[in-house]
Amino acid sequence: MFKNKVIRYSTIAMFIAILAYLIIENMGGSSSSDDAVAANPALYKTKLLEERAAKDEQFKTGDDSPIKDKDSFHGLHYFEPNLGYRVKATISPYMQDDKEVTVKYTDGSSEKYEKYGYANFSVEGQAQKLLLLKSEGTISVLFRDATSGKETYGGGRYLDYPVDQIKNNTIVLDFNKAYNPYCAYQESYACPVPPAENTLSVAIQAGEVTEEASHQE
């Protein structure tokens, strides 16, 4: 089984490749900052769709792609971009002694993570919180929500951020970028299972959906 480090490093490598692609496409990276882009809905959507197209290309051609049948792969599927699901969260640092936590994997194994803190935010006027997990300089947001197992992958979806994305105990969680783990495409990958407490009470209708859901009307 391919384990979490392979998945995380592949994801980070893919993210870097996507950024490089976008920098080249924008003539040296002269585009606006992320916050400035988000302040302009049309520009935000354009950038997000470019990122998704670049990821599709990586999945179709990359050696580390989890897609088995690349010839029949025509791209991933998503909810429509929605800035309402790009939320600023306040982080409550985890101050207890039991910071080390064992996270279970889909193959029955486990890995150690650090409880970094709780991200507190609101979606559709409802207060929510998610446990942030830290490993090797990466903050992992592993979550399920009311769409899991219906419109989205039943095992949950992920967001990943470098630790330096946290400023003054705040972080922007962009659920439009919520993605499926590799085990959603191949069972040969072992993926971390979201903690039970990271099951949100609302439907996060943003980010990646299943191919089956994309064909439903």
Tell me the pLDDT of the chain (217 aa) as tens digits. Answer: 445 444 554 454 444 444 444 443 443 343 346 677 777 999 999 999 999 999 999 999 999 999 999 999 999 999 999 999 999 999 999 999 999 999 999 999 999 999 999 999 999 899 999 999 999 999 999 999 999 999 999 999 999 999 999 999 999 999 999 999 999 999 999 999 999 999 999 999 999 999 887 666 4
Q: Domain map of the chain by residue range? A: 4-214
What distance lies between CA 47 and its chain's CA centroid?
16
pLDDT digits (tens, 9 = 90+) for 146-165: 999 999 999 999 999 999 99
Phi, psi for residue 14 in degrees, rounded to 5? -65, -40
Q: Using CB atoms within 10 Å of the CB of residue 161, give its burial: 0 to 12 exposed, 13 to 18 middle, 19+ buried.
A: middle
**Rg of the chain over CA atoms, in angstroms?**
17
pLDDT digits (tens, 9 = 90+) for 92-119: 999 999 999 999 999 999 999 999 999 9
Amino acid identity, position 89: A
